[in-house]
Amino acid sequence: MMEKVPSLGLGTAALALTDLSEAERTLSLALDSGIKYFDTAALYGGGQAEIRLGKVLKSQAARDVFVSTKVGRYRELGVAAPGPNDTPDVWDFSEATTRASIRRSQDRLGRDYLDCVFLHDIEMAPEAALAEALPVLKDLQAKGEIGLIGAGCNTNAGLIAAIYRGAADVVLVAGRWTLLDRSAARNLLPLCARKRTAVVAGGVLNSGLLAKRPVEGASFDYRPATVVERDAATRIHDLAQASGIQLINAALSFPTRHSAVDTLLLGVSTACQLEQSLSALKTNIPQEFWENVAPLGLLA
């Protein structure tokens, strides 16, 4: 049983619906590579990510790992993220649904104790999340069924609200503390430092916009990137190239440079991508690059 989030983790969203053998190979490689933290959610593949992760952890008798999951946002088992004409996800932070979700997650993961539970994307229903679901998590924490409690959001405002209401052990900031989007530095990261709230940085490639030189049609925040966003990412890419650095290497190395950030959460869909990410983290990024890239990005 770990009391803090390990410094490097693997997210399972992209592994929920990919080829099963590839997903299992990727999770096994993560374990073999020394990764001790896995983040999942009832949302991902409608729970399929939890099932796949639980199967691999059981098959490798991997109990010495830290697992976080999430409550509040759901879709049907085996269903991908909805498109414009599909049935939308369901947000339900009621007490009954939250307790049932925890039980399902425990069953899927094969773990009676959940190291961390996040309130998932509370921006859609903040009052329900904090007034109904959070007390359930506090109760289960007091009973020793779950460890850390926090929120995982794509907005700084959602995370700040969660911290002030007591979901303050740890936050998962998705996409708001990256080489391109540094908006978490305004208020969120200083607040976390003051409250001693642990920070997990996820979505650090901004939906792939920081994976390579942006092209028209590239994504940002799970939607097509605007011209402004593409141009900002392109300037960072060109600086990296001129510095002899691959953009993705710099993007993966950036988040944990901030003293308030405890954990980098990788997101991959194949074992090959995981190998590349782990290799990228070993790259030495010159201090001169960090100084030159500081004024670039969406906050410049």
- What pLDDT score was predicted for residue 87? 86
Summarised one tens digit per residue, pLDDT across range 180-230 is 999 999 999 999 999 999 999 999 999 999 999 999 889 999 899 999 999
- What pLDDT score was predicted for residue 69? 98
- Which amino acid is present at 114? L
Count Cβ atoms within 10 A of the Cβ of residue 208 and give its class: 0-12 exposed, 13-18 middle, 19 or more buried: middle
**Quick one: tokens of 204?**
């650090």
**Picking from 15-29, 54-68, 161-175, 261-275, which range would have the lowest pLDDT averaged per residue?**
54-68
Strands 73-74 and 90-91 come out as antiparallel
- Whether the pLDDT of residue 85 is over 80: the answer is no
User: How confident is the model over 58-76, as a mean pLDDT?
Assistant: 92
Under the banding of pLDDT at 50, 70 and 90, the label for residue 1 is: low
Strands 263-267 and 8-11 come out as parallel
Give percent above pLDDT 90 in the chain: 92
- What pLDDT score was predicted for residue 59? 86
- What pLDDT score was predicted for residue 251? 98
Max intra-chain CA distance, the chain = 55
Q: Say which residues have a Cβ less than 8 Å from residue 244's Cβ, sequence separation at least 6.
A: none
Asked whether the beta carbons of 233 and 241 are under 8 A apart, the reply is no
- What pLDDT score was predicted for residue 173? 98
**Quick one: tokens of 256?**
């944990």
Distance CA 283, CA 265 (A): 17
Summarised one tens digit per residue, pLDDT across range 234-260 is 999 999 999 999 999 999 999 999 999
What DSSP designation does 122 have? G
Domain residue limits, the chain: 8-212+249-286
Under the banding of pLDDT at 50, 70 and 90, the label for residue 2 is: low
Asked whether the beta carbons of 257 and 263 are under 8 A apart, the reply is no
Q: What is the mean pLDDT of the chain?
A: 96
Distance CA 300, CA 296 (A): 5
User: How confident is the model over 268-290, as a mean pLDDT?
Assistant: 97
Whole-prediction pTM value? Answer: 0.96
What DSSP designation does 91 have? E
Distance CA 137, CA 89 (A): 22
Write down the catalytic residue from 37, 44, 74, 113: 44
- What pLDDT score was predicted for residue 300? 46
- What pLDDT score was predicted for residue 62? 73
User: How confident is the model over 134-150, as a mean pLDDT?
Assistant: 98
Q: Identify whether 44 is a catalytic site residue.
A: yes
**Quick one: tokens of 25?**
């190979």
Q: C-alpha 21: how far from its chain's center? A: 23
User: How confident is the model over 154-169, as a mean pLDDT?
Assistant: 97
Summarised one tens digit per residue, pLDDT across range 86-141 is 889 999 999 999 999 999 999 999 999 999 999 999 999 999 999 999 999 999 99
Strands 114-120 and 66-71 come out as parallel
User: How confident is the model over 294-299, as a mean pLDDT?
Assistant: 90
Topology of domain 8-212+249-286 in CATH is TIM Barrel (3.20.20)
Count Cβ atoms within 10 A of the Cβ of residue 227 and give its class: 0-12 exposed, 13-18 middle, 19 or more buried: exposed
Q: C-alpha 298: how far from its chain's center? A: 20
